[in-house]
Amino acid sequence: MLEMREVSKVYRTETVETHALRGFSLKVDEGEFVAVTGPSGSGKTTFLTIAGLLEDFTRGEYLLDHVNVHGMNDNQRSRLRNEKIGFVFQAFNLIPDLNVLDNVEVPLHYRHMSGGERRKRALAALERVGLSARLKHYPAELSGGQQQRVAIARALAGGPRLLLADEPTGNLDTAMARGVMELIEEIHREGATIIMVTHDPELAARAQRNVHIVDGMATGVSEEPRFHPGLRERTAGDVSLPRS
Amino acid sequence: MMTPRPILSALRRHKIAAFLIVLEIALAFAIVSNAVYLVMGRLQRMDIHSGIDERDLVTLQISSSGNAGVPSAEADLAALRTIPGVQSASAVNSLPFTNSSWNSDFTKTPGQDATGYPATIYLGSRDLLPTLGVKILAGRGFSSDQYTDLTPATMLSAFFKPTQVIVSKAYAEQLWPGGNAVGKLLYVDKSQGQIVGVMSNIVRPQLSDSGTDPSNFYAVVLPFRVGPDLDASYVLRAAPAARERVLKAAVTKLQAMHPTQTVTKQATLSQMRREYFANDRAMAWLLVSTILALLGVTAIGIVGLASFWVQQRTRQIGVRRALGARRRDILRYFQTENFLLATAGIALGCAAAIGINVWLMAHYAVPRLPIIYLPIGAVALWLLGQLAVLGPALRAARVAPTVAMRAA
Ligand SMILES: Nc1ncnc2c1ncn2[C@@H]1O[C@H](COP(=O)(O)OP(=O)(O)O)[C@@H](O)[C@H]1O
Ligand SMILES: [Mg+2]
């Protein structure tokens, strides 16, 4: 799905040069669930912005779906983001002026799609995160957990194959975090590739593989994909959508 | 690409700011469309075609009061014709672009109850029409024996004798639409005149407020010679480019002939036109300044609000970019938003524009605003809005998608 080879990212300001990533290499297979951990400032978010084509990198090589993305223009990147990648942010990042349904439709506005199709997809995504009853609510009227689930629905609406989540539970209390985590696991089960940055070792442990970043370099990559403990439990029993 | 609906929904969450800008656009639209119409009216008036050869004409007037008695027009004109560069000269009771005129209601049947058609009256010698550059289009000019001298003493009786009349084309057209005026009779009360010729249009001295009013060209010429005793002026046709010199020489000559009298007026016709329209010009400038100021203030309002919104929405712009919006999608979002606001303003402004016009019609004899000024105003404000929003919208389009991940 995604392969980075010796990727470096240098942020230059007038006074300082920050090497946010140094010779960072990582391969993520289709359908994998990778948790990214590491101390604050180690380059986790930088990795996600590059992986998600939000910015270019300084050196190295990055293949997304076997396509070299280096040097792609802004329009090409936008289109790839729109079609292949879903984002989930720590701060939810819903658009405050739009209701839940309109928020979920936002990414669909940036591709050729009829209003009816847009509506259908958004409703399906909201159904999936269990928020069909909140279509006309505005983000400020929802709890943090609900907001994050709307954000996940927005990420899902476009049918992405890669979901990038930057500390998706960072702003949530434990109960809400659990709900969101279970939702992400379910999305993974349905076939999406997931890369999730987290501070929480417990959540990281639920991924198939952990990547630890220190000082802009990947360390402690467990090459052996572990079996997902949560997955085994849940596939055995009934799947009920989490509510927060 | 964004459809307008979510943009409208988002705007509904910012009702007050949106309403204020819509109001500003509506006000600008209403005032600007009316002001543009008023300016056009003034320009049209100022642009009126006088029907005389203004460029080569000069005029001067000598006072009739003085120790030496009333100057004789014939003697004065004979002397003026000797000035080099003078091609022809005549006395005339009044001229275009002056504030004194002789006017009368002419009727097609005799008697006081007949419907009258107002026209201005030009009086002068045989030289008058050639000097002014007015042409006979149909019929003929006056025969020489028709001319009589008009003095304060003979005025009343002169007007009661049957006479000949030359009418302007516009007046003929008004009296006998599509017909032939030559040979027809005209009356002032019971006095009778027979139309012998139709002349090219000559504008009346005092124009109506509207430059397109056909009655501006309702004029008749009667075969009466006039002189300074009836406050007549002399009008001279100068050779091309000689008018300034001719005017100076004419003044000198008149003063030499009548040392105790004063030359009360001396001007080229071009000067007279300029002075006559001085108010229109001032008003047009005032209106244009008002229009520009209003458009400027509106543009500043749009730029201000758009800049504020772009700044306020920096994060959501970053999020939209992350979700796949291209730079041009962001640009278009703000352009569409502005277009919607402008459209609302224009719609509201249409009602206000008509309201202002109705009020102006009631209080200032302004005619009804032609409907064409509404689309003109609409296009102007749409363009203004797009122009004003372009800067902020381009700034919005430059917001980096990483803002979605980074901004606190
Ligand atoms: N836009 C930027 N300009 C300059 N330095 C940056 C920028 N973004 C991130 N950095 C720096 O890059 C390093 C890695 O940051 P980041 O990837 O956000 O770390 P993490 O997400 O692991 O906390 C930090 O030192 C951070 O200060
Ligand atoms: Mg981070």
CA–CA distance, B216 with B273 (Å, rounded to integer): 15
Domains of chain A, first to last: 2-229 (3.40.50.300)
CB-side exposure of B124: number of CA atoms within 13 Å?
Answer: 27
Per-residue pLDDT averaged across B24-33, rounded? 94
Nearest chain B Cα distance for residue A87, angstroms: 7
Per-residue pLDDT averaged across B2-23, rounded? 89
pLDDT at residue A241 in the model? 42
The answer on pLDDT for A131 being more than 80 is: yes
Per-residue pLDDT averaged across B99-118, rounded? 87
CA–CA distance, A197 with A170 (Å, rounded to integer): 10
pLDDT tens digits along A189-223: 999 999 999 999 999 999 999 999 999 998 865 54
| Substitution site in A12, A18, A195 for ligand 1 pocket (most atoms within 8 Å of beta carbon) | A18
CA–CA distance, B142 with B144 (Å, rounded to integer): 6
Instruction: Say how far residue B244 (Cα) sits from the centre of its chain.
Output: 27
Nearest by Cα to B205 from B119, B106, B95:
B95
Kindly list the residues from chain A whose CB atom is less than 8 angstroms away from the CB atom of residue B3. Answer: 109, 115
pLDDT at residue A71 in the model? 83
Interface probe for A, chosen from B319, B320, B402, B403 (most Cβ of A below 10 Å), is B319
Residue A130 makes CB contacts below 8 A (sequence gap 6+) with: A149, A241, A242, A243
Q: State which residue of chain A sits closest to B316, comparing Cα positions.
A: A95
pLDDT tens digits along B302-344: 999 999 999 999 999 999 999 999 999 999 999 999 999 999 9
pLDDT tens digits along A14-29: 999 999 999 999 999 9
Contact criterion met (CB < 8 Å) for B326 and A111: no
pLDDT at residue B100 in the model? 86
B53 phi/psi in degrees, rounded to 5: -80, 70
The answer on pLDDT for A232 being more than 60 is: no
CA–CA distance, B309 with B399 (Å, rounded to integer): 13
pLDDT at residue A167 in the model? 94
* Count of other CB atoms within 10 angstroms of residue B397: 21
pLDDT at residue B366 in the model? 83
Q: Do A166 and A88 meet the contact criterion of CB atoms below 8 Å apart?
A: yes
The residue ranges of every structural domain in chain B are 4-47+279-405, 64-261
Kindly list the residues from chain B whose CB atom is less than 8 angstroms away from the CB atom of residue A157. Answer: none
Q: Do B217 and B203 meet the contact criterion of CB atoms below 8 Å apart?
A: yes
Ligand 1: atom nearest CA of A12 is: 4
| Substitution site in A12, A17, A45 for ligand 1 pocket (most atoms within 8 Å of beta carbon) | A45
pLDDT at residue A239 in the model? 39
Per-residue pLDDT averaged across B63-92, rounded? 88
Ligand number nearest CA of A167 is 2
CA–CA distance, A207 with A222 (Å, rounded to integer): 11
Task: Return the percentage of chain B with pLDDT > 70, whole number.
Answer: 98
Interface probe for B, chosen from A45, A85, A97 (most Cβ of B below 10 Å), is A97
pLDDT at residue A55 in the model? 94
- A/B interface, count of CB pairs below 8 Å: 90
pLDDT tens digits along A71-130: 899 999 999 999 999 999 999 999 999 999 999 999 999 998 999 999 999 999 999 999
pLDDT at residue B180 in the model? 94
Interface probe for B, chosen from A40, A46, A93, A113 (most Cβ of B below 10 Å), is A93
Reported as a pLDDT band with limits 50, 70 and 90, residue B365 is confident
Q: Which residue has its alpha carbon closest to ligand 1 atom 21?
A: A45
Task: Return the percentage of chain B with pLDDT > 90, whole number.
Answer: 79
Per-residue pLDDT averaged across B69-88, rounded? 92
Kindly list the residues from chain B whose CB atom is less than 8 angstroms away from the CB atom of residue A48. Answer: 405
A219 phi/psi in degrees, rounded to 5: -130, 165
